[in-house]
Structure 1
Amino acid sequence: MKRSQRIQKLVELSQKKEDTVARLLARQKAKVEQEKQKLEQLQEYASQYESERNLLGMSPYLVTNYQHFVTRLEQAVQQQKGAISQSEHQADQAQQQWLAARTKTKSMDIVRDKHAQQEQKLEDKLEQRQTDEFAMLRFMKSGY
């Protein structure tokens, strides 16, 4: 088996690894988007709740309950922002892994191509030598 063919097997393995990491990156990016949508929903809910509270007159008891609810809602918003931050960090790490895998695959492609070119040059030289020898034999047999 030629060296370029052996390297091709490594390139294929590297490509599989790159594809796996690319799928992970896509999942991480989708997760970031989902987390951002959840935050938007929480913020929209908080805004709607605030609008409704201003329209209704509330008893002191309801004001206290409202304040507890608002506090929990603010905590949920902060937690969601933390979840977004964590998801973005994980997506950044996946991006770095993908870039590393992509660089490795490209490097291996270059090495494989280099070996394939060298092999082709050797084959071309051998073919030329055989052609020259054959022509020389024909010339010798023909008697000059």
Structure 2
Amino acid sequence: MKKSARMQILVNLAKQKENDVAKRLAVQQAQVESEKEKLVQLEAYSEQYRSERNLIGLNAFLSTNYQHFVDRLGQAIVQQKQQIARVEQESNFVRNQWVKARGKTESMDWLKNKHLTSEALIEDKREQSQSDEFAMQRFILAKQS
């Protein structure tokens, strides 16, 4: 088996690994977007409650409960921001894995192409040698006739 054919097997394996990592990256990026959307919803919900508080008159007891609820919403927003940071960190890690996998695939593909070029040159030289040998044999046979 030629080196280029063996290298093609390695290139295929590297591409498969790259594709697997790319799929994980897509999942991670979708999760980041989902977490960001949750944050936007929490912030909108919190803002809605803050603005409504000013519009409705609440007694002291209801006002305290209302404020506790708004405070819990604020805590949820902080936790959601932390969740986004964790998910983005995971996404960046997977992105770095993909970059490495892509680089490996490209380098193996380059090496395979180098072997293909080398094999083509060797084949061209072999064919030229055979052609020269046949021409020489015809020349010798023509002189003998």
TM-score, normalised relative to structure 1: 0.97
Aligned-pair identity in percent equals 52
In the TM superposition, what is the alpha-carbon distance from 1:22 to its structure 2 partner? 0.7
TM-score, normalised relative to structure 2: 0.97
Q: Distance in 2 between matches of 1:51 and 1:81?
A: 22
Question: What does residue 27 of structure 1 align with?
Answer: 27
Question: What does residue 61 of structure 1 align with?
Answer: 61
In the TM superposition, what is the alpha-carbon distance from 1:92 to its structure 2 partner? 0.5
- After superposition, the C-alpha distances for 1:8-28 in whole angstroms (9 at most, x for unaligned) are 000000000000101111111
Residue 130 of structure 2 aligns to a residue in which SS? helix
Q: Distance in 2 between matches of 1:71 and 1:52?
A: 15
- Equivalent runs, 1:98-117 vs 2, <5 Å: 98-117=98-117
Q: Distance in 2 between matches of 1:26 and 1:90?
A: 12
- Equivalent runs, 1:32-47 vs 2, <5 Å: 32-47=32-47
Structure 1 regions of 5+ residues with no counterpart? none
* Paired residue type of 1:126: R
- Equivalent runs, 1:53-132 vs 2, <5 Å: 53-132=53-132
Displacement over 3 Å in runs of 4+: none
CA-based RMSD of the aligned residues comes to: 0.9
Question: What does residue 18 of structure 2 align with?
Answer: 18
In the TM superposition, what is the alpha-carbon distance from 1:52 to its structure 2 partner? 1.0
Aligned length: 144
